[in-house]
């Protein structure tokens, strides 16, 4: 442990924020006082509408009924204020409204947080020159467009208009964009996609005291704009990691399954993840072990029905997502104490899940609550895949806390799920698992999770990956278990599934056309953060909601490309704070590069294709160990690995006995094309490594010490 700490401190000096490359892509603002960037639209008689924008100068005067919609050109969040320098009299009004998507720009209200209609405009009575600010409870966490409406005869002149950016409240005012991680490739679309994912997670990180915007969820009249505010307290610290900054502003564990790794790979904001997870565990029913659908705020008003639902109802999968959240937090932080402190809760929770397993070996899900999909019951494939995955994770955590008492039970339950799911739910003609045994619906969620969990065999995974990609529409991958939904949440898992199935190009293609071409570039989007869901037709209608204005355009659960690109494309898989796997899967990218600093050290990888083959540079923290996995080259090739470990600058490797040996390994491999020639292991030189395996698909070198490596793949 001490050795790791020392290593982490040493690398943190090297990898200080100012050296993080590609900062030109970072969307986070460089300071908190933000003026609008441009005028999107002006109505009525407005003099010098652009005066209060970053590119304008001079005052802006609103005459009679008039309005200006200002554009921040990206999604932001915070507290609006303005300075009035003059007005015709003391009986003027200015109304402020907000929206993430241009679809909902209106002088009469903001986009919605409720089930119906829109949120009311905030009105200010202008009594003379001076500063006017929204109250803290009207922190609007997500908006790109700010509408300023003047509804009276007479005039009001503004000399200043700004938003105080409130996301990432615990980061320094000038350090919001000090990322600890980076990504770059030869594909400009993917570069933008990664940084928008990181920024989405940042906007979801809100002040702990501005939680829960669902004030009037029971509103029934679409014509009456509803009151709204955000003043519940979500965690015991200064920040909270929520589903979305406009709405719900609540700690949802489903979102964590995608967004928590994204946070560690971009900003390493461990404290917010820890505080937020703690709030989920604090809401556990200590009798049954049931974890909440979402965390209860510490203080909430009104105590509306929806907030109570979070603890009253049980979601089989969201319950498991809290357990997986603890694992994700632990692998990047190595925080054994936190794991130990929550271990009894983890076991209680997992045993509750096991109580749903019946004589078939599968869990019979009896609650319909999931990610707002339909038909979530019976021997559901998604639930059983996630349960299998959680059981496997539990075994690794059990070793970490030295509590091996239930390992046999968990291992047996995991394999029984695999056997039963294959018997009852697999359809080899369709190349899909069915949702449950009484249907022929083949869900996206269950099939992608069957791959991630390893419930699907390698050949099934290959077939499922092909079948999933055959269903894609022009706007993304469908989730037929939720009607006509495209779910960027479930598709974030689909990205991982294609990489795991050995089809990286599918994941890369999907990120390009779904996340870049549609979710960033469609003009109804914010061009900076990711929408929570939409319709397969490309309409911004999320089938789960009646009210399209309610859709969040910044949802952490849609940030899956951060993990997909850093972990899979660039190949940096962190298993825990001492072990990693490096396996680049660049598809047809000619260059892909990622790096990140976490508590136990700094990771970096840089893959590039060369005239002769390819080159892969790898850095992992001193004191760790890992495996290098390479896809078998398409050509007959020579692979050489040169390592530099420790500070001596020698080409060296520590063997099992801690002795340092100079090394330079090389081997010849044959491509595994149509030719019948089997894979042939060449001879390594100068010394033969003890750990080396090869198959038709990959060549693996195990037990490499943390350090810097250069891998050259040269076609011969
Ligand atoms: C601008 O005027 C049009 C036409 O009167 C109206 O429909 C729209 O709501 C106004 N927009 C704003 C932002 O005031
Ligand atoms: C605002 O209205 C007052 C009263 O009619 C007028 O004197 C003043 O010039 C107007 N200001 C601007 C900037 O148009
Ligand atoms: C302007 O809006 C304010 C606040 O809603 C309202 O009290 C006032 O009557 C409106 N004035 C006009 C002329 O519509
Ligand atoms: C825990 O769950 C049991 C069984 O569903 C229920 O009776 C009890 O009220 C729950 N406790 C709390 C504190 O919600
Ligand atoms: C939030 O603000 C509302 C409206 O002012 C107030 O009624 C409520 O008590 C506040 N809730 C909390 C938890 O402060
Ligand atoms: C089985 O799956 C179908 C399709 O999703 C669904 O309609 C049905 O309700 C599910 N059965 C149960 C018991 O949930
Ligand atoms: C699941 O449990 C429910 C409630 O006990 C029961 O009605 C249903 O038949 C079970 N489903 C299966 C597939 O066993
Ligand atoms: C970390 O992962 C490696 C590889 O799976 C495993 O051998 C090791 O025991 C793990 N360490 C801990 C502390 O769980
Ligand atoms: C588990 O046991 C090992 C070996 O005895 C010890 O090094 C480690 O600190 C223990 N871990 C925990 C979390 O107790
Ligand atoms: C399996 O899938 C095929 C092709 O979709 C379908 O025709 C067949 O009915 C399915 N079989 C079962 C048992 O669901
Ligand atoms: C979207 O944002 C990128 C920067 O991330 C910018 O280069 C591009 O011009 C923006 N697109 C539009 C249509 O504004
Ligand atoms: C990568 O492959 C995709 C199809 O999967 C293709 O559209 C694209 O042009 C290719 N890019 C390069 C640089 O070859």
pLDDT digits (tens, 9 = 90+) for 154-205: 999 999 999 999 999 999 999 999 999 999 999 999 999 999 999 999 999 9
CATH code of domain 186-566: 1.50.10.10
pLDDT tens per residue across span 554-603? 999 999 999 999 999 999 999 999 999 999 999 999 999 999 999 999 99
Q: Which residues of 636-645 are buried (b: 16+ CB within 10 A; e: fewer)?
A: ebbbbbebbb
Q: Tokens standing for 488?
A: 């960027």
Output the pLDDT for position 310. Answer: 81
Is the pLDDT confidence value at 700 over 90? Answer: no
Stretch among 55-64, 463-472, 669-678 having the lowest mean pLDDT: 669-678
Distance from the alpha carbon of residue 526 to the mean position of ligand 1, in angstroms: 21
Output the pLDDT for position 19. Answer: 64
Ligand approaching nearest to the C-alpha of 404: 9
Residue nearest atom 7 in ligand 2 by C-alpha distance: 88
Sort strands 155-165 and 33-34 into parallel, antiparallel or unpaired.
Answer: antiparallel
Q: What's the average model confidence in pLDDT over 458-481?
A: 98
Q: Which residue did the predictor score with more confidence, 381 or 653?
A: 381
CA dist 454 and 605 (Å) reads 26
The candidate with the shortest Cα–Cα distance to 95, out of 72, 75, 73, 68, is 68
Ligand approaching nearest to the C-alpha of 102: 1
Q: Which atom, in ligand 2's list, is nearest to the CA of 89?
A: 4
The ranges of the chain annotated as CATH 2.60.120.260 are 33-165
Q: Which atom, in ligand 3's list, is nearest to the CA of 152?
A: 13
Confidence of residue 18 (pLDDT cuts 50, 70, 90): low
Output the pLDDT for position 661. Answer: 38
pLDDT tens per residue across span 254-282? 999 999 999 999 999 999 999 999 999 99
Q: Tokens standing for 190?
A: 């993917």
Q: What's the average model confidence in pLDDT over 450-455?
A: 98
Output the pLDDT for position 695. Answer: 59
- Our answer on whether the CB atom of 192 is closer than 6 Å to any ligand 11 atom is yes
Q: Tokens standing for 146?
A: 């700010």
Q: In Å, how far are 252, 349, 397 from 247, measured between CA atoms?
A: 11, 28, 33
Residue nearest atom 12 in ligand 8 by C-alpha distance: 400
How many C-alpha atoms does 38 have within 13 Å on its Cβ side? Answer: 4
CATH code of domain 33-165: 2.60.120.260
Q: Tokens standing for 324?
A: 């997986």
Q: Which residue did the predictor score with more confidence, 117 or 311?
A: 117
The ranges of the chain annotated as CATH 2.60.420.10 are 2-25+570-715
Residue nearest atom 6 in ligand 3 by C-alpha distance: 93
Ligand approaching nearest to the C-alpha of 330: 8
Is the pLDDT confidence value at 650 over 60? Answer: no
Residue nearest atom 11 in ligand 6 by C-alpha distance: 377
Secondary structure in 3-state letters for 39-74: EEEEEEEEECHHHHCCCCCCCEEEEEEEEEEEEEEE
Is the pLDDT confidence value at 642 over 90? Answer: no
pLDDT tens per residue across span 394-433? 999 999 999 999 999 999 999 999 999 999 999 999 999 9
pLDDT tens per residue across span 46-62? 999 999 999 999 999 99
Distance from the alpha carbon of residue 336 to the mean position of ligand 9, in angstroms: 10
By three-state DSSP, how is residue 598 classified?
strand
* Percent of residues, the chain, with pLDDT higher than 90: 81
Is the pLDDT confidence value at 374 over 80? Answer: yes
Distance from the alpha carbon of residue 556 to the mean position of ligand 4, in angstroms: 30
Output the pLDDT for position 304. Answer: 65
Beta strands in 225-318 (DSSP E): 239-241
Is the pLDDT confidence value at 696 over 70? Answer: no
Residue nearest atom 1 in ligand 12 by C-alpha distance: 588
Q: Tokens standing for 486?
A: 């495209």
- Our answer on whether the CB atom of 527 is closer than 6 Å to any ligand 11 atom is yes
Is the pLDDT confidence value at 694 over 80? Answer: no
CA dist 397 and 668 (Å) reads 38
- Our answer on whether the CB atom of 227 is closer than 6 Å to any ligand 5 atom is no
Give the Cβ contact number of residue 635 at 10 Å: 15
pLDDT tens per residue across span 502-541? 999 999 999 999 999 999 999 999 999 999 999 999 999 9
Q: Which CATH class is domain 2-25+570-715?
A: mainly beta
Distance from the alpha carbon of residue 579 to the mean position of ligand 8, in angstroms: 6
CA dist 597 and 620 (Å) reads 10
- Our answer on whether the CB atom of 43 is closer than 6 Å to any ligand 1 atom is yes
Q: What's the average model confidence in pLDDT over 214-221?
A: 86
Distance from the alpha carbon of residue 312 to the mean position of ligand 4, in angstroms: 8
Residue keyed to tokens 């899979």: 568
Output the pLDDT for position 702. Answer: 78
Q: Based on the number of CB atoms within 10 Å of its own CB, is 583 exposed (0-12), middle (13-18) or buried (19 or more)?
A: buried
Distance from the alpha carbon of residue 542 to the mean position of ligand 1, in angstroms: 26
Sort strands 625-631 and 579-582 into parallel, antiparallel or unpaired.
Answer: parallel
The ranges of the chain annotated as CATH 1.50.10.10 are 186-566
Q: Which residues of 283-294 are buried (b: 16+ CB within 10 A; e: fewer)?
A: bbeeeebbbbbb
| Residues flanking ligand 7, CB < 6 Å | 358, 364, 366, 378-379
Mean pLDDT value across the chain: 90
**Residue to mutate, 316, 355, 360, 364, ligand 7, most ligand atoms under 8 Å from C-beta:** 364
Q: Which atom, in ligand 6's list, is nearest to the CA of 434?
A: 2
């Amino acid at each position: 442990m001490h050795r790791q700490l020392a290593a982490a401190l040493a690398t943190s000096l090297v990898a200080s924020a100012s050296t993080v490359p590609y900062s030109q892509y970072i969307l986070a603002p460089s300071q908190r006082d933000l003026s609008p960037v441009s005028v999107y639209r002006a109505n009525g008689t407005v003099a010098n509408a652009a005066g209060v924008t970053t590119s304008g100068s001079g005052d802006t005067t609103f005459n009679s009924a008039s309005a200006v919609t200002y554009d921040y050109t990206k999604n932001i969040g915070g507290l609006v204020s303005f300075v009035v320098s003059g007005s015709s009299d003391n009986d003027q009004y200015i109304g402020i409204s907000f929206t993430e998507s241009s679809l909902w720009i209106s002088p009469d209200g903001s986009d919605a947080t409720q089930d119906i209609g829109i949120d009311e405009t905030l009105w200010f009575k202008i009594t003379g020159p001076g500063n006017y600010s929204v109250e803290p409870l009207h922190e609007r966490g997500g908006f790109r467009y700010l509408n300023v409406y003047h509804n009276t005869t007479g005039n009001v002149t503004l000399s200043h208009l700004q938003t105080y950016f409130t996301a990432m409240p615990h980061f320094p005012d000038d350090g919001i964009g000090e990322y600890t991680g980076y990504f770059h490739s030869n594909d400009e679309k993917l570069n933008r996609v990664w940084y928008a994912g990181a920024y989405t997670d940042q906007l979801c990180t809100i002040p702990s005291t501005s939680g829960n915007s669902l004030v009037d969820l029971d509103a029934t009249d679409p014509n009456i704009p509803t009151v709204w505010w955000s003043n519940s307290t979500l965690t015991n610290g200064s920040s909270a990691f929520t589903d979305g900054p406009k709405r719900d502003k609540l700690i949802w564990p489903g979102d964590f399954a995608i967004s928590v790794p994204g946070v560690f790979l971009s900003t390493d904001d461990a404290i917010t993840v820890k505080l937020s997870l703690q709030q989920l565990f604090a809401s556990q029913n200590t009798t049954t072990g049931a974890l909440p659908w979402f965390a209860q705020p510490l203080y909430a008003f009104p105590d509306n029905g929806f907030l109570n639902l979070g603890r009253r109802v049980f979601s089989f999968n969201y319950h498991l997502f809290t357990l997986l959240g603890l694992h994700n937090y632990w692998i990047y932080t190595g925080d054994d104490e936190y794991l130990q402190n929550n271990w009894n809760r983890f076991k209680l929770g997992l045993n509750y899940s096991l109580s749903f397993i019946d004589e078939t070996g599968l869990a019979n899900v009896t609650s319909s609550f999931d990610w707002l999909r339909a038909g979530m019951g019976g021997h559901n494939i998604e639930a059983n895949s996630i349960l299998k995955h959680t059981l496997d994770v539990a075994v690794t955590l059990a070793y970490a806390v030295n509590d091996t008492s239930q390992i046999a039970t968990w291992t047996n339950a995991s394999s029984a799920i695999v056997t039963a799911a294959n018997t009852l739910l697999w359809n080899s003609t369709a190349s899909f698992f069915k949702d449950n045994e009484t249907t022929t619906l083949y869900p996206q969620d269950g099939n992608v999770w069957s791959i991630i969990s390893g419930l699907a065999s390698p050949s099934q995974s290959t077939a499922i990956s092909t079948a999933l990609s055959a269903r894609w529409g022009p706007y993304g991958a469908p989730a037929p278990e939720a009607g006509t939904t495209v779910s960027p949440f479930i598709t974030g898992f689909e990205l991982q599934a294609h990489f795991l199935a050995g089809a990286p190009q599918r994941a890369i293609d999907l990120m390009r056309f779904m996340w870049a071409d549609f979710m960033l570039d469609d003009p109804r989007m914010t061009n900076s953060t990711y929408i929570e869901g939409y319709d397969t037709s490309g309409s911004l209608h999320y089938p789960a909601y009646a009210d399209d204005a309610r859709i969040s355009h910044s949802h952490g659960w849609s940030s899956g490309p951060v993990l997909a690109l850093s972990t899979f494309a660039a190949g940096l898989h962190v298993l825990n704070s001492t072990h990693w796997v490096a396996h680049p899967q660049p598809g047809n990218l000619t260059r892909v590069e990622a790096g990140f600093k976490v508590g136990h050290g700094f990771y970096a990888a840089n893959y590039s294709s060369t005239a002769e083959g390819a080159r892969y540079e790898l850095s992992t923290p001193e004191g760790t160990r890992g495996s290098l996995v390479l896809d078998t080259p398409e050509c007959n090739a020579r692979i050489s690995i040169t390592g530099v470990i420790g500070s001596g600058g020698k080409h060296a490797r520590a063997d099992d006995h801690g002795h340092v040996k100079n090394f330079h390994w090389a081997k010849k491999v044959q491509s595994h094309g149509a030719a019948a020639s089997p894979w042939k292991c060449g001879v390594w030189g100068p010394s033969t490594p003890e750990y080396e395996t090869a198959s038709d698909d990959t060549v693996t070198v195990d037990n490499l010490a943390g350090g810097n490596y250069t891998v050259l793949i040269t076609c011969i």
